[in-house]
Amino acid sequence: QELGLKDYYSDYFPVGVAVAPNSFEGKSKELILQHYNSITPENVMKMGEIHPEQDRYNWEAADKMADFARENDMKMRGHALVWHQQTGDWIFEAEDGGQVSKEELLKRMKNHIDTVVSRYKGTIYAWDVVNEAISDDPEEFLRKSEWFEILGEEFIIKAFEYAHEADPEAKLFYNDYNAIIPEKRDRIYKLLKMLVDRDVPIDGVGIQGHWSIFDPSEEDLRKAMDMYSSLGLDVQITELDVSIYPWEKEQRERRPDESDEFTAELQQKQVDKYKMFFEVFRDYKEVMTGLTFWNISDAYSWLDYYPVEGRKNYPLLFDEDYEPKAAYYEVVEFD
Ligand code: XIL
């Protein structure tokens, strides 16, 4: 078999990809087997999918992914146990229709974590336990989610404790986006330090890596790597893609002059950015225990419908025909 990303990076870190179970056929399956030695479920293990009602779990799609990982001797990351999105409303609702009490919510959370983590024990080696708990507002620390409103910051601590009880061998991660830009980085760092200082069972930080041809800078990336690893935590890039559009809020709407064309100029910018990111990753191989791309090829990316519905994006290393792009060769050709 031809070499793939995982072979070029075998002395560095496992290379993973986030997929749906329908990727296990045709060209996407070929690419998964050639290039990656780890998979993450893009959606099917989120609470809203796997546990849509209090007394009902949906195991089929998640089991299919776990079977695929086992059959092909791949690592598997679990994503995500506690998040403010893609979570059924039922969890925050009391029997009488009002808001659930603190005690009851903790009970439900423990139940969810126990059930899901235990089922995939031995297959899933790392879990995103808490996803995106830091606020986007620089003036605010934790996001004002229902988890936070009802449980306070304790929801984070408890989630890690419950996950650790369910599978003491699993590596437990806090995962977030914009983890490199200084104003959010500093608050993520503050949270992680608080968890480490309190001996909460956390093993690592997941830097999502939804980046673009504009951001982040090499300097900011190295600085964030230094800060997070100084806490003694594993660092993983958990959701890498490099958008051809800027991510800043005020630029997220489609501009009038903007086309969906992946011009030679944009391609070159993307090549340069990918090259720089991977140089930094290689330099940090002692602290980086994993790198996962968010989707396989430009044939399908979640960025085709987010944050602007129907705006085509080209964020990955393989093109719409599943062929390696120029950026792929930059990433695998190094001394
Ligand atoms: C995204 C999926 O890729 C989409 O299919 C879904 O519609 C929304 O969620 N941060 C995360 C991921 O932690 O779970 C998100 O995945 C992307 C942003």
Give catalytic residues, as residue numbers: 239
Band of residue 310 on the pLDDT scale cut at 50, 70, 90? confident
Q: Which amino acid is at 70?
A: R
Closest CA to 208 of 243, 177, 241: 177
Three-class DSSP category at 43 = coil
Q: What is the mean pLDDT of the chain?
A: 96
What was the pLDDT predicted at 13?
A: 98
The ipTM estimated for the assembled molecules is 0.99
Query: What would the pLDDT profile of 5-44 be if each residue is shown by its tens digit?
Result: 999 999 999 999 999 999 999 999 999 999 999 999 999 9
Question: How far apart, in Å, do the first and last CA atoms of the chain sit?
Answer: 22
Q: Whose CA is nearest to atom 3 of ligand 1?
A: 302
Q: Is the CB of 131 under 6 A from ligand 1?
A: yes
Closest CA to 167 of 129, 118, 123, 126: 118
pLDDT at 1 over 90: no
The fraction of the chain above a pLDDT of 70, given in percent, is 100
What was the pLDDT predicted at 331?
A: 98
Distance 307 CA to ligand 1 centre (A): 11
CB 265 within 8 A of CB 319: no
CB 274 within 8 A of CB 245: no
Band of residue 184 on the pLDDT scale cut at 50, 70, 90? very high
Q: Is the CB of 301 under 6 A from ligand 1?
A: no
What was the pLDDT predicted at 249?
A: 76
Q: Whose CA is nearest to atom 9 of ligand 1?
A: 43
Band of residue 322 on the pLDDT scale cut at 50, 70, 90? very high
H helix or E strand, kind and range, residue 228: helix 218-229
Band of residue 253 on the pLDDT scale cut at 50, 70, 90? confident
pLDDT at 74 over 80: yes
